[in-house]
Amino acid sequence: MTNGFKNLKAVTDFVDSRVLELDDDVRAVGWGSQESQELRFDYLIKDFNLNSKTILDVGCGLGDFLHYLKKSDIKDYQYIGLDISKNMIESCRERHQQDNVQFYQGTIFEYDFETIDVAILSGALSYKYKEATSAAKATLEKMFQLSTEGVALNFLSTTADYELEKNQHYDPAIILTWALNLSKKVSLYHDYPLYEFTIMLKK
Ligand SMILES: C[S@@+](CC[C@H](N)C(=O)[O-])C[C@H]1O[C@@H](n2cnc3c(N)ncnc32)[C@H](O)[C@@H]1O
């Protein structure tokens, strides 16, 4: 594939096939290592107190954020995982059988989530397809609208030394403009050793 994916359905097919191929490996969700996955989570939640909160994880993959939460001192949370991939969600339902956890297949526009405190997104906006940029903006807006406290998302950065054809990189200044149109309480972290940045918006 030289020009990225044709549309979101092509992304879904790609992700579905990766799960079957790699199953329990962190590479099934597109990350090079568990350390880099956890560094992303560290940045996503650094400005929130997630104790007793309801957390929406958009593009939850295999639900690995739950492993991260279990290793942390965060308690009494409710977790909602959402992913476009049927195989990811089936795998999540097998892996994480807990009362405080729910999984949904689809995009954020297909469900009416009513009680979200904090919404996070790691890696789900990294796929290049025709409508990727407008979908990313709409996803950020919807996450912010649904959450009572705020949101945090990461994006691949246009400052990276190289870009794979399948990946969508974003100019941090443009994402900052999108964010400031929604909230005055915005932080952007572009200081960690991955080719990306994290943006956090609070209500
Ligand atoms: C790079 S993986 C990361 C998974 C997980 N967040 C993690 O860090 O382990 C991105 C995931 O986002 C999902 N995804 C991509 N676009 C999405 C969308 N518009 N809505 C929901 N999920 C999406 C993919 O199916 C994939 O499982």
pLDDT digits (tens, 9 = 90+) for 160-177: 998 999 999 999 999 999
What is the pTM for the complete model shown?
A: 0.96
Task: Determine the residue of 11, 19, 67, 83 to mutate for testing ligand 1's pocket, defined as the one with the most ligand atoms within 8 A of the Cβ atom.
Answer: 83
Query: Domain range holding 60?
Result: 8-202
| pLDDT of 90 | 95
- We report the CATH number of the domain holding residue 139 as 3.40.50.150
Cα(60) to ligand 1 centroid in Å equals 6
Contact residues of ligand 1, CB 6 A cut-off = 11, 15, 29-30, 37, 58-61, 64, 82-85, 88, 107, 122-124, 127
* β-pair type (54-58, 78-83): parallel
In total, the chain counts a number of residues equal to 203
* Position 1 in a domain: no
Q: For residue 41, which atom of ligand 1 is closest to its CA? A: 8
**Would you state the pLDDT for residue 191?**
97
Distance 173 CA to ligand 1 centre (A): 23
Q: Give the Å distance between the CA of 123 and the centre of ligand 1.
A: 6
d(CA 94, ligand 1 centre) in Å = 18
Residue 32 located in a structural domain: yes
Please state, in angstroms and as integers, the Cα–Cα distance from residue 132 to each residue in 4, 6, 7, 68, 128, following that order: 10, 10, 8, 28, 6
In this structure, how many other beta carbons lie within 10 angstroms of the beta carbon of residue 97? 8
Work out which ligand 1 atom sits closest to the CA atom of 15. Answer: 25
Tens digits of residue pLDDT in 36-62: 999 999 999 999 999 999 999 999 999
pLDDT in tens, 60-91: 999 999 999 999 999 999 999 999 999 999 99
Which of 15, 45, 55 most suits a substitution to test ligand 1, by most atoms within 8 Å of the C-beta? Answer: 15
Adjacent-strand bridge partners of 156: 169, 196
**Residue 3, in any domain of the structure:** no
Q: What's the total number of domains in the chain?
A: 1
Considering the domain boundaries, does residue 43 fall inside one? Answer: yes
In a domain, 24, yes or no: yes
**58 part of a folded domain:** yes
Residue 103 is assigned to a structural domain of this protein? yes
* CA separation for the pair 178, 134 (Å, rounded): 11
**38 within domain boundaries:** yes
Q: Judge whether residue 144 has pLDDT over 60.
A: yes
Quote the ligand 1 centre to 124 CA distance (angstroms): 4
| Residue 178 exposed, middle or buried by CB count within 10 Å (0-12, 13-18, 19+) | middle
